[in-house]
Amino acid sequence: MGRRPTKAADNPFCKARLEAAKYNERLYSKEGAAELLGVSVSTLSDYELGITKIIPPDMVLKMSDLYNAPELRNYYCAEICPLGFDTPRVEISDLDRICVRALFSLRKMNATGELLLDIAKDGIISEDERPDMEKVLHDLEELEEITQNLKVWITKNL
């Protein structure tokens, strides 16, 4: 049996398992991974093939920990969990890229903070302040995505 899946090759759970197999030989096979996760091979196969649409959250945590793939938690929250529809999706970047983006975003946050103070000083968001409040929200969402990316990088690399 080959070690390169074809049908599940683009599945994030399969990718994470195969990446982790570089450090744990047992993860090359679904049999070995299923045993370590405490599930049947067919259940793991269903996860990796996308047959099981909603993987139990505790299983995502187990896979994330076993595979050293915190990005699976983010993927689950952003793409699978019905409550996480507004969770920013993280693509793992190099630390230097994340830091540059974070510093740039933090620099912008000074102006965003001033804008927010101007809007909130009277406790009312007037109709003409709505576009400014939308800009504040956009800047906060950008910072949230960068923060999530940095958290995933740190968790994966420490």
pLDDT digits (tens, 9 = 90+) for 94-105: 999 999 999 999
Contact 156, 95 (CB under 8 A): no
pTM of the predicted model as reported, rounded to 2 decimal places: 0.76
pLDDT attached to residue 1: 45
Task: Report residue 85: phi and psi, to 5°.
Answer: -55, -25
Q: CA-to-CA distance for 109 and 155, rounded, in angstroms?
A: 25
pLDDT digits (tens, 9 = 90+) for 98-132: 999 999 999 999 999 999 999 999 999 999 999 99
Q: CA-to-CA distance for 21 and 100, rounded, in angstroms?
A: 31
Q: CA-to-CA distance for 119 and 99, rounded, in angstroms?
A: 29
- Count helices and strands (H / E) in the chain: 7, 0
Is the Cα torsion angle 61, 66, 71, 76 positive or negative in sign? negative
